[in-house]
Chains A and B, each alone.
Chain A
Amino acid sequence: MSTNATHTAAESHDAHVHVHRDDYGAKMGMWLFLFTELLLFGGLFILYMAYRVEYIQQFQIAAKELKVYMGGVNTIILLTSSLTMVLSIVALQRKNVQASIFWLVTTIVFALGFMVVKYFEWSDKFHHGIYPKGPGLMDKSQGEIIFFGLYYTMTGLHGLHVIIGVGLLTAMLIQIKRNKVRPDRFVPLENAGLYWHLVDLIWIFLFPLFYLLH
């Protein structure tokens, strides 16, 4: 106790900044953040529901325009990437840094693959003039306009999350290489994994709502 009292301020400051570590707290913060992400998308799901009730038939017509196989391929890609993400975390926990890096890179590749498919999907729609205020869309009924407005907003926001996820996972890759994230300090990677699962989870709802309900 007396040693505590004679600590100089500088020592306690260092302690304060560097030594304090609370893995449980870090994860708790991440879960709270994910909760806010769910609510962010929640607003969009409410809008989707309200407009689906209002324009039920036009939504069904509009959904036929989307190519199920493209969405399906992307669903498989994202679900698999969640698995590789878990494999990366488990590998790090089991002190196998090389395997962890391998699975992390695989996850990033899958994420980029998702974006490539998305790119082709969107450019195909753009090619037919189906985009907000686009010539192909303005000919259609109001319900279809809203459907595609929501489609671009929701999948676009989701795509943005995928890109942020790629950035986050790349940052983790660098941290692992620099030995900042390591077998006795894997919570940052776990948190990045939690974020990645959320991205996956939201897609699991987006896919049926836009591609399958027609």
Chain B
Amino acid sequence: MADNAAVAGNGNYVDFYNYKGKYSGIAGWLLSVDHKRIGLMYLYSMVTFFLIGMTLGFFMRLELWSTGQDIMGPQTYNALFTLHGIIMIFLVIIPGIPAGFGNFFLPIQIGAEDVSFPKLNLTSWYLYTIGGLMAVVSLFVGGGPIDTGWTFYAPYSIRTGTEVILPLLAAFILGFSSILTGLNFVTTVHRLRAPGMSFFKMPLFVWSLYSTAWIQIIGTPVIGITIILVMLERAFGIGVFDPALGGDPILFQHLFWIYSHPAVYIMILPAMGVVSEIIPTFCRKTIFGYGAIAMSSLAIAFVGTLVWGHHMFTSGMSDEARWIYSFLTFIVALPSGVKIFNWVATMHKASIKPETPFLFVMAFIFLFSIGGLTGLVLGSLATDVHLHDTYFVVAHFHYVMFGGTIFIFFAGLHYWFPKMFGRMYNSKIANTALALMVVGFNMLYFTFFILGYLGMPRRYYDYLPEFQDLHRFATVGSWVMILGIIIMIVNLIVALRKGDKAPANPWGGMTLEWTVPSPPPLTNFTKIPTVKYGPYEYEHYEEVVNNEH
């Protein structure tokens, strides 16, 4: 392929930043159907929303510095935790890895020029943006910021005087965006794989996105209809969730969790896919148990749709239903365990290069294991009754979602940063930032486990005096963690402007994105590659990587 090497190797190509299309400047981004530009637009939006959500969290911790009212009253606090939840879940974590990194790397990793429906892809981004803006606008109209918590439980969401319909409409639109991305990805994986790339030669990130896309398709419509029903209930009083008219609010909880439990797998599966990419690259070794990891994604996607009842152990269900949900919940732990063991087994006797992305993954495995194991505590009926609606739940949730998904979001940012932006960052500063984040994280959220165990209920702006020391310790932890996050982001921004130029393959990865230049050209490949080997077969490293596309 000598004729191709000339194009890719020496910079004799136009990368997707400098490509001049029909539109230029900002319109060249806002009207672009290029999956890489759309992916980056998602990433920028998400980092912005993440910082907003983080700021809300910061103020919540500040309010909890001492007993009584410190900087805000109860109503403001209720609005803050609701917004923190809505922003972090619907605008950051759910779209996070699939819409951001997935858009950018899914087509490249399967050897395609773009997704199946590029225009639909841009539409999804607009829906996402409109949904995000509506959520923000809803703070300033009607009865003021919504205070129901991100779960919108009926009948309170029907009765509260705050503005509920607009944020719900925002969530509906975000769900629609998520569905369209999901069906786009499923079709892309089925239709646009490069010649030779069978399903079992796909990178594990693609497998995880594929499983995620199916959950998005199966789960999201159910929350869509649930949201519509709450809106209709508020607007017209149709009665289905209103006990005064004969409706049953428990049914709302069922419908809500039918989506929202699978949604936590929408949040975590792509992160697991990123881990499965990073570990072999920095171990320079085939991943242990490729098939088991790929299938465990599908198993999680499937079993994950059957366990929603474990959110409702104290809501009023028959004992039979409760122990069945509890049992199924334990079953989900198995495929997650399969993944963890395979990742650790991959590192066995590997020549590990402990670069920044790999260290993030190490932090993830530590934090996620704590989050996963405490999930089993909550999945057991007897202990859940004690811990339900306490800080223990909050701690568990942040260990899996923040320590899991967001840490891997950052890991992916550091792993793919050179590929996306063509620049290298200062890894010493990045590692320092990571250390601060891990220390602050554990100070903050491990304290929550203890607080919850002692009986501190969630969503309260005030607490009993005996909890004050622990709350203060957690608040100090939040400062350390935020400091780490700020250092990390500043480091990346500096790298964007002043970083060294990145080579095509700085880490020695073997998946297809490392065979194209950094940043990639507009259509990714000058010639669609033919795939001969699995994604992590390092014995063929030279042949795959030197065979430039």
Chain A residues close to B by CB (< 8 Å): 1-2, 4-5, 7, 9-10, 12-13, 15-17, 20, 22, 24-26, 28-29, 32-33, 35-44, 46-47, 50-51, 54-55, 131-133, 141-143, 145-146, 149-150, 152-153, 157
CA distance A9 to B191 in the complex (A): 24
B220 and A16 form a contact (CB under 8 A)? no
Q: Give chain A residues whose Cβ lies under 8 Å from the Cβ of B248.
A: 50-51, 54
Residue of B7, B238, B245, B526 contacting most chain A CB atoms (<10 Å): B238
Residue in B224, B246, B523, B527 whose beta carbon sits within 8 Å of that of A16 in the complex: B523
Size class of the contact patch on chain B:
35 or more
Tell me the bound Cα distance from A10 to B523 in angstroms.
10
In the assembly, what is the distance between CA of A1 and CA of B521, in Å? 18
Q: Across chains A and B, which 9 residue pairs bring their CB atoms closest together, nearest first?
A: A142-B246, A149-B238, A43-B225, A39-B221, A40-B221, A32-B183, A25-B191, A149-B239, A132-B236
> Quick check: A36 and B179 within 8 Å, CB to CB?
yes
Within the complex, the shortest CB–CB distance from B380 to chain A, in Å, comes to 28
Are B19 and A13 in contact (CB-based, < 8 A)? yes
Q: Is the CB of B237 within 8 A of A37?
A: no
Docked-complex contact B225 and A41, CB < 8 angstroms:
yes
What is the predominant secondary structure among interface residues of chain A facing chain B?
helix
A-B contact count (CB 8 A): 137
Other than the given A9-B13, A153-B240, 5 more pairs (CB < 8 A) read: A1-B4, A51-B240, A54-B248, A132-B237, A142-B246
Cross-chain pairs A/B with CB under 8 angstroms, 25 sampled: A4-B526, A5-B526, A9-B13, A17-B118, A24-B191, A25-B116, A25-B187, A26-B117, A32-B183, A33-B183, A36-B183, A36-B217, A36-B221, A37-B221, A38-B221, A41-B225, A42-B225, A43-B221, A44-B225, A46-B255, A54-B248, A132-B237, A132-B238, A146-B245, A153-B240
Determine whether the beta carbon of B190 is less than 8 Å from that of A28. Answer: yes
- Asked whether A25 and B190 contact (CB < 8 A) given A132-B238, A142-B245, the answer is yes
Q: Which of B204-229 contact A (CB under 8 A)?
A: 217-218, 220-222, 224-226, 228-229
Please, how many angstroms separate the alpha-carbon atoms of A50 and B118 in the complex?
A: 41
B25 neighbours in A (Cβ, 8 Å): none
Check if B255 sits within 8 Å of A43, measured CB to CB: yes
Q: Judge whether B225 and A146 touch: CB under 8 Å.
A: no
- Is B6 part of the binding interface, using a Cβ–Cβ cutoff of 8 Å? yes
Asked if A157 and B184 sit within 8 Å, CB to CB, the answer is: no
Which chain B residues lie closer than 8 Å to A15 at the CB level?
523
